[in-house]
Structure 1
Amino acid sequence: MQTVTLNLFRFDRALTRLWVLGQMGAARFALPHVKGLNFWKLCGSGTGEGFTPKPNWGTWAILAGWDSREQADAGLQRPPFSQWRQRADESMTLFLEPYAARGKWAGRQPFVPEGGPDGAIAAMTRATVKPAHALRFWGRVPDISAKVGTDPNVIFKIGIGEVPLLHQVTFSIWPDADTMAAFARRGEHAEAIRAVRDENWFNEELYARFRITGCEGTWEGRDLMSATNNTQEAA
């Protein structure tokens, strides 16, 4: 079964931030040689609620798809993953299994869905925004992002992307599939989805859902797997 990992890294110091900027080029030469790695993307992030056009120079991510959990565990001990963890002030790795996916990313479907949802889930949306619609897109998205941030059910969220303004990814964790679906159907989020369809804002889009199978490290001092388990127990 395919394992997907989302590695988040926080760099607080000016020198390490310069170093990771260089890694956005250098890591591209190392990643193709990591055994079992079938998909990878190097991403920056947004400020504020996470999904904004203003970059956050301290937070960076590596999204990766692996042939198996065993190969993910082994590959994450190799460069560039190990180098980034050693230099980061904080890091976290989420282990995921895709159960639903539609659309494409750079012309391919990178995820291999199997099974169904089980407990807390992660939702990922990736889009390539048409330049002609970028201003309208970014005029609407920060309000939607803020709504996600204030939703009492969302456990975690972050906005990352490959190319500022044009190639964007939203990632969020929810207690269960029904809770996530209920949010998507109401308010400004639903209105934005209708605008995307009616006005054809995207050149390419991908929607994927994942089971959460593990978490290593912390983010903002938080053990995310404990937070996820506590939410499920409360439900």
Structure 2
Amino acid sequence: MSHVTVHLWRVPTAAVPLAVARMAADRWLLRGTPGLTFSKLLGTGDGRTLSPRDADPRTWGLVAAWQRAEDAVAFEAHRTPRGWRRIAEEEWRADLACQRTRGRWSGREPFTAREDLRGWDGPVVSLTRARLRPRTAATFWRAVPPVVADLEAGPQPLLRVGIGEAPIGVQGTLTLWRAAADLEAFAYRRGPHRRAIADTTRLDWYGEELFARFALLGVRGTVSQVSTTSPVGTAPGRGDLRA
């Protein structure tokens, strides 16, 4: 059974060069971390086009999977989060358990779904990640704005972040919802996103893709993209979310 964490760090403009340096250094520092089974350091953006135009050089992230929750707790004393705290003005962390997952990330299946979470009725996090085929990138980017516009017209996620491992061609989304019903209403019942799902197969956009949904077990800290001051549902956890 794996435990998953997401960290987001927001740095002042003057610290952006240090953040870029941390992204390079932490790839080495994370190797051999006790209990760590998978990790990806990520750049972020506002998620409006999923193209380089969205890039937010002040916000950076880490997605990690752990053998045990205790390993994730111990990680807070690791050189990586400690180093980010020295340069960040905000830090946000979510603790997650996987409800469902399909696809691969860098050739791996990084998350393990838990059968006991199928009836979860608290807040959920959706993570998507894809590697675009160069020949289909233009059609993909043209399809994104209608989906984003439809998202903004319906139930709003508490948090929406574009994520990426490279400036072009390898990107995804991280969204936090009050309940699975809000996520499902956007993903499967509203027209633009349903058409985008159909086009994924019809136009063969991706060389690799992954979708995962998680129960939100706990959250703490703040990051500027969060648009609510309310407690996150009824899930166990601590901390607040604020813009």
Establish whether TM, by shorter chain, passes 0.5. Answer: yes
Task: Name the residue aligned to 2:215.
Answer: 211
Deviation at 1:2, TM superposition (A): 1.3
Provide, for residues 36-95 of structure 1, a one-character-per-residue CA deviation record: whole Å limited to 9, x for no partner.
111000110124748443211111101111111111011122111111122101110011
Structure 2 letter corresponding to 1:57: P
Task: Name the residue aligned to 1:171.
Answer: 174
Percent identity, aligned pairs only, is 34
Instruction: Select between 150-159 and 21-30 the one with higher mean Cα deviation.
Output: 150-159
Task: Name the residue aligned to 1:39.
Answer: 38
Q: Does 2:135 correspond to 1:132?
A: yes
Residue 223 and residue 133 in structure 1: after superposition, are their counterparts in 2 closer, same or farther (change >3 A)? Answer: closer
Alpha-carbon distance in structure 2 between the residues aligned to 1:109 and 1:197: 20
Contact 1:52–1:138 under 8 Å retained in 2: yes
1:198 pairs, out of 195, 202, 221, with 202
Residue 129 and residue 184 in structure 1: after superposition, are their counterparts in 2 closer, same or farther (change >3 A)? Answer: same
Q: TM-score, normalised by structure 1?
A: 0.90
Contact 1:49–1:149 under 8 Å retained in 2: no
CA RMSD of aligned residues (A): 2.2
| Structure 1: tracts of 5 or more residues without a match | none
Residue 3 and residue 50 in structure 1: after superposition, are their counterparts in 2 closer, same or farther (change >3 A)? Answer: farther
Q: Does 2:91 correspond to 1:91?
A: yes
Alpha-carbon distance in structure 2 between the residues aligned to 1:221 and 1:180: 18
Deviation at 1:13, TM superposition (A): 2.4
Contact 1:125–1:207 under 8 Å retained in 2: yes
Alpha-carbon distance in structure 2 between the residues aligned to 1:202 and 1:163: 15
Contact 1:97–1:213 under 8 Å retained in 2: yes
Number of residue-to-residue matches in the alignment: 230
Contact 1:17–1:57 under 8 Å retained in 2: yes
2:159 pairs, out of 156, 160, 182, with 156
Helix, strand or coil for the counterpart of 1:92?
Answer: strand
Deviation at 1:141, TM superposition (A): 1.4
Helix, strand or coil for the counterpart of 2:232?
Answer: helix
Structure 1 letter corresponding to 2:192: E
